[in-house]
Every structure is written in C-alpha cells, then in structure tokens.
Structure 1
Amino acid sequence: MPARADALQEHAERLAALFTVAGFPRMASRVLMTLMMSTDAALTAVELKERLGISAAAVSGAVKYLERLGMVRRRAHRGSRKELYELPEAAWYTASLRQPPFYAEIAALLPDGILAAQQAEAAGPLARLVEMQEFFEFMRTRMPGLYEEWVATRAAEVAEREG
C-alpha cells in the first residue's frame, strides 16, 4: 500500500478506535472507517479483508451489522460476481439520523419495565426507567428535525463554496 494510503488507513483505525470506545462494535467500526477513507467509499469483501487483515467471516458480520443500521449497502460489482460494500449516497451519519426506529423500539419496550417497577414498588428503577423513556421519546421525535436541519445547513455550505 502506498504511504498515503497507509496514512489514511492509520487514520481510519484511530477513528474506529474512538467509535469502539463509544460502544460501537470493533469490526463494524473498522469496516465503516475503512470505507470512509477509501477513494470511492466502496470496497469488496476481499479488499476489506486485505486492508484490515481480518477473516471473511469478520467482514461479513461487520457488514451485516452496518447494513441493519443503514450505514452500508451492498451492490453488484460491475464485471464481476463479487459484491461491493459502499456507504449510502448520503453520508453514514445522515443515514443514522434518518432512521430513528431504534429510539421508538426502546421507548415502546420501556412501559413494561415501568409497570414491573411500579408493581415491585422499586422507586430507583422506576425513576431511571421513566427518565430513560422520556429521553428516548425525545430522541425519537427530534431526530427527523435534526436531519432536516443538517440537510439545510449542508446545502447552504455547499452553495456558499460553489457560489
């Protein structure tokens, strides 16, 4: 790998390490950041395997995880039977902002826990579960607006640079 490519991969590894510390799965972090640093934001499984020095199974597991989050998608690789893994057209963080079902799923699950805490007369867990429900409901309702705000901000920045 040329020196510039090595530097990009080193940067990808540093970013992936931060994502891992924040709780993102290690291999998914490494695959995501490697795609971020690739020229076309797309690589085959073999390319990911070679760049990261990991097994095909590790690539597959990481890609499946990222696909579920909407951060990576598969497409056919022209002229080949291989699949290409790529970042979505909108950047990965935009994809995550557009998909708030995670927050809705958590918020939907919490009433059962709240009821159980009430029935057990467990004040500590009850207070934490109520706060958690309020937080995730807040996030679920705010994420679409944050996405729209990001799109408008980004469009204005691009127009300013090009204008």
Structure 2
Amino acid sequence: MTGGASAHDASAHDPGAHEELQQYAEKLAAVFIAAGFPRMAARVLLTVMLSTDAALTAAELQERLGVSAAAVSGAIKYLETLGMVRRRAHRGSRKERYELPEQAWYTATLRQPPFYAEIAGMLPEGITTARRADASDTVARLTEMQQFFEFLRVRLPQLYEEWAAQRGDR
C-alpha cells in the first residue's frame, strides 16, 4: 500500500488518517474476498467507497493500491457490470473518475433478479434429466437450488421496498 492522498482527502486533524482509512479499506476488502468477491475488484470498490467524495481516478487508485493500470481497469470493468461503480468525466481534464452510484449496494443487488429468474427457469430441465438418470440426490440439490433462486427473485424487490420505506425514500 502506498500513501499519496490528494490534498482534499487528507485529514487536517490527523495526517495519518488517510493511511489508516486505506488500511481499513484493505481489511474490509479481505472480507469481500473471503466471501468470493474478486480480489482486485474488492480492493478498488472499498478504496473508492472510503475516499472522501466516493470518486477516484485510475491514477489515484493505482497509487493507493500499488497496482498496475491494467489491474485497475479490469476491476473497474467488473464493478461496472455489477452497477457498483460508474465512470464520470473529471472536470477540466480528459481523465475519468470512478465513483459509486447513489444507493450502490442495493442497486447492484437488485440488478440480479433477472439472473435469479433465468437460473430458476433453467433448473427444471436439469431436474428432469437427473430423474431420467435416476440420480435422486442430484434431483434434490437441483430442486433446492431452484426454490432458492425463485425465492431470491421474488423477495429481493420486496426487501428493496422495505429498505426504501425504512430510509424514507418514498
């Protein structure tokens, strides 16, 4: 990890606060990585999230993470597909800043129901095939998987509504 905070990002009260915050970003990213999130994407996401204005350039990400431009680019592309990061033109420059969209966590989560529906819709074919193969354990696993993805497809939009109501977004 390297230091390199921009002037507006360093704490006026504690010069070491930026480095501590980056260390915290790395610890939080480790939890995401342990849960199966791609390593570099987790590090980039948490570094952007914990930056002062939730937006950094590729050069700032490279400096803070001590990684190559290619590593940052690949992570950004992945995070963009999830809807967790977006590109914005940097004022007065040709550089882009990568920022968290508003409500990034549940926006990214809610983008997945079509995936869940597609998976749930594909599973009856596998269940039928497993039955023909007389593979009862496989049938049970596929049936449970189908039920789980169908549950997610139905419940995630409802959970979003509950979250929005709790936050007063209506």
Settle same-fold status: TM greater than 0.5.
yes
Shift of 1:29: 0.6
Residue 118 of structure 1 corresponds to which residue in structure 2? 131
Output the amino acid matched with 2:145.
Answer: M
Mapping 1:141-156, distance limit 5 Å: 141-155=154-168
Per the alignment, in what secondary structure is the counterpart of residue 168 of structure 2? helix
Residue 107 of structure 2 corresponds to which residue in structure 1? 95
Inter-partner Cα distance in structure 1 for 2:66 and 2:87 = 21
What TM-score comes out, normalization by structure 2 length? 0.86
Mapping 1:1-163, distance limit 5 Å: 1=3, 2-90=15-103, 92-99=104-111, 100-155=113-168
Inter-partner Cα distance in structure 2 for 1:51 and 1:105 = 39
Q: RMSD of aligned C-alpha atoms? A: 1.4
Query: Which consecutive unaligned segments of at least 5 residues does structure 2 have?
Result: 4-14
Inter-partner Cα distance in structure 1 for 2:54 and 2:99 = 6
Residue 161 of structure 1 corresponds to which residue in structure 2? none
Shift of 1:83: 1.2
Shift of 1:36: 0.9
Shift of 1:89: 1.3
Instruction: Provide runs of 4+ in structure 1 moved above 4 Å.
Output: none
Shift of 1:81: 0.9
The sequence identity of aligned pairs, in percent, is 66
Output the amino acid matched with 1:65.
Answer: Y
Query: Which consecutive unaligned segments of at least 5 residues does structure 1 have?
Result: 157-163
Inter-partner Cα distance in structure 2 for 1:77 and 1:118 = 57
Inter-partner Cα distance in structure 2 for 1:84 and 1:105 = 33
Task: Assess if the C-alpha contact under 8 Å between 1:97 and 1:144 holds in 2.
Answer: no
Q: How many pairs align?
A: 155
Task: Assess if the C-alpha contact under 8 Å between 1:27 and 1:62 holds in 2.
Answer: yes
Per the alignment, in what secondary structure is the counterpart of residue 88 of structure 1? coil
Q: Which structure carries more helix by proportion? A: 1
Residue 160 of structure 1 corresponds to which residue in structure 2? none
